[in-house]
Amino acid sequence: MMMGAEAGQKVIRMERVTPSAEEMKKLNEPMEMPDGKMCRMAIQPEKQWVIVIEKKDASGSSQSTQKAPVAEKDGKRVIPVPVPVK
């Protein structure tokens, strides 16, 4: 997962939030990857990074939101990655 802002865009808000029960369920259930294999998160996520980016140009302005799961491992916060389901 790639997160970031392009030239001319501005990060206007970045926060760590607790996902809703529905989002938490989706984060913790097995998911199908583009190659057709089933994967799940290596570490159970507990929060999400929410980054709001604003872009302004001649035609106006717009905002986009990006989310990434966050977990805790050995006292450190990490972004978990999917691993194959065994």
* pLDDT at residue 3, rounded to an integer: 58
pLDDT reported for residue 60: 87
Domain extent for 45: 9-84
Domain assignment present for residue 78? The answer is: yes
Q: Contact, 3 vs 51, CB < 8 A?
A: yes
Residue 4 domain-assigned (yes or no): no
Which segments in the chain show pLDDT lower than 70?
A: 1-8
Residue 32 pLDDT = 92
Domain membership of residue 34 (yes or no) is yes
Predicted model pTM: 0.68
Q: Write the pLDDT tens digit of every residue in 47-62.
A: 999 999 998 888 888 8
Number of domains comprising the chain: 1
Q: Looking at residue 47, what is its pLDDT?
A: 92
**Alpha-carbon torsion (37, 48, 18, 63), positive or negative:** negative
